[in-house]
Amino acid sequence: MSFINLKEKVVQVKIVYYGPGRCGKTTNLEYINRTFRNQIVSEMVSLKTHGDRTLFFDFLPFNMGKIKGYDIKIQLYTVPGQVKYNATRKLVLRGVDGIVFVADAMAKQREKNIRSLNQLHENLLSYKESIFKIPLVMQYNKIDLKEHGIPILPTEVLQKDLNSRLQVPHFEASAVTGYNVAATLKKIIASTIISIQKKLF
Amino acid sequence: MNYGIVSQEQIEKIDSILTDKLIKLGVDCVIVIDMAGNIITAKDNSESKYDVYSFAALAAGNFATVDAMAKLVGEEEFSLLFHKGQESSIHFSKIDEELLLISMFGQEISLGFLRLNVVDAIEQIKRLWNKS
Ligand SMILES: Nc1nc2c(ncn2[C@@H]2O[C@H](COP(=O)(O)OP(=O)(O)O)[C@@H](O)[C@H]2O)c(=O)[nH]1
Ligand SMILES: [Mg+2]
């Protein structure tokens, strides 16, 4: 749930990057952190293991500037992707306003993407939220690997696997090169703010 | 109260409770957050400068983790959450199912004394909540 402070005229919005382990959620936030320095007020917080895997979450506060006189503060989170961490994944989803589902476009990850999306659906239900109602954007990441001869799922396949019922906006992307990372972010921010405005004003 | 939106008046009342009960006692910084990691309000003694947004995200995660651990060992909750450092310490207290009050304070304040005042402040904040 977004939080609106009428005294300071601040709106806090929580956006979570969700997806299977090693699909590129943390890399998305790292790219945003490097590229939008002037919109980021503090350091990125990463709770990770020695092996550099996300243990709990990454957190990056992102200033959007003002809309209708309100200061919009976007809080970006990632979840830990490893299967065994579902309890903590669920904690991060508490109060979420918008979700980027990052799918790994590598052919061998096909099943993992589907399983992760199904679990997102269940985790949202436990907070009485619906994957069909919450603002959601699909990102098909690691598209750059195609050039290196690594088998990649065609976007039509990913769309059919993950987005045939949801019908949400989608982007092919590469979190390492930054391709469509900003486009994904802009889209989820726009959808989320529209949905908050509908709910509240 | 319509959770999710707080009016100027509500925030001002909460701020004055926090100032009276905790900042005047010598607490460096008091933050009220929700369980999603949003900041409802933050008050400090104007000397300490914390990065409150990151702090709120971590504090909500920390509290949620400890809460889940309590359930695993069959406890309803761990009512006291307290981290002690050499120079400063952090005290967490649940206001209700959605809200947390966090105090950061130095060694000149005793934990017992702080807790009394936290309990008082929470009572007052709750009364204010339930009225509106
Ligand atoms: N080639 C390629 N590698 C990527 C891309 N995004 C992430 N990676 C790599 O995939 C691995 C896991 O990324 P990470 O962001 O930690 O995944 P997370 O578990 O979802 O947070 C790292 O070695 C990244 O460098 C991408 O777009 N293209
Ligand atoms: Mg990660």
CATH classification for the domain delimited by B8-131, as one of 3.40.50.1970, 3.30.1330.120, 3.30.1330.40, 3.30.450.30: 3.30.450.30
Q: What was the pLDDT predicted at A1?
A: 61
The whole-angstrom separation of Cα A157 and Cα A162 is 8
Write down the residue that tokens 């100027």 correspond to. Answer: B8
Provide the 3-class DSSP secondary structure of residue A10: strand
B-facing residues of A in 3-22 (CB < 8 A) are 3-8, 12, 14
Instruction: Lay out the sheet containing B99-106: strands in order across.
Output: B39-44, B29-34, B99-106, B88-94, B81-84
Residue A100: φ, ψ to 5°: -105, 120
Amino acid at A20: P
Tens-binned pLDDT, residue by residue, of chain A (201 aa)? 677 888 888 889 999 999 999 999 999 999 999 999 888 878 888 888 877 788 888 999 998 888 888 899 999 999 998 888 898 899 999 999 999 999 999 999 999 999 999 999 999 999 999 999 999 999 999 999 999 999 999 999 999 999 999 999 999 999 999 999 999 999 999 999 999 888 766
The gap from C-alpha B120 to its chain's centroid, in whole angstroms, comes to 12
Q: Which ligand is nearest to the CA of A58?
A: 2
Nearest chain B alpha carbon to A196: B4
A91-105, A178-192, B12-26, B47-61: which range is least confident on average?
Answer: B47-61
The whole-angstrom separation of Cα A75 and Cα B53 is 9
Query: C-alpha distances in angstroms, B124 versus A4, A6, B91, B99, B131?
Result: 22, 21, 18, 14, 11
Atom of ligand 1 nearest to the CA of A30: 15
Q: What is the value of pTM for the model shown?
A: 0.90
Provide the 3-class DSSP secondary structure of residue A2: coil
Nearest chain A alpha carbon to B52: A42
Q: What was the pLDDT predicted at B131?
A: 64
**What DSSP assignment string belongs to A94-155?**
TT--EEEEEEE-BGGGHHHHHHHHHHHHHHHHTTT--TTTS-EEEEEE-GGGGGGT--B--H
On whether the CB atoms of residues A116 and A81 are closer than 8 A, the answer is yes
Q: What was the pLDDT predicted at A201?
A: 60
Of A8, A56, A59, the CB nearest to B54: A59
Per-domain boundaries in chain A? 3-200
Which is more confident, B53 or A159?
A: A159
Tell me how many residue pairs between chain A and chain B have CB atoms under 8 A apart.
84
A interface test, pick of B38, B58, B99 with most A CB neighbours within 10 Å: B38
Atom of ligand 1 nearest to the CA of A27: 15
Pocket probe for ligand 1: among A18, A22, A76, the residue whose CB has the most ligand atoms within 8 Å is A22
pLDDT confidence tier of residue B132, bands split at 50, 70 and 90: low
pLDDT confidence tier of residue B48, bands split at 50, 70 and 90: low
pLDDT, average across residues B49-69: 86
CATH architecture of A3-200: 3-Layer(aba) Sandwich (3.40)
- Cβ-based interface (< 8 Å): residues of B facing A: 3-8, 11-12, 34-41, 51, 53-54, 57-58, 60-61, 64-65, 68
Q: Which of A11, A126, A77 is nearest to B4 (CA)?
A: A11
Per-domain boundaries in chain B? 8-131
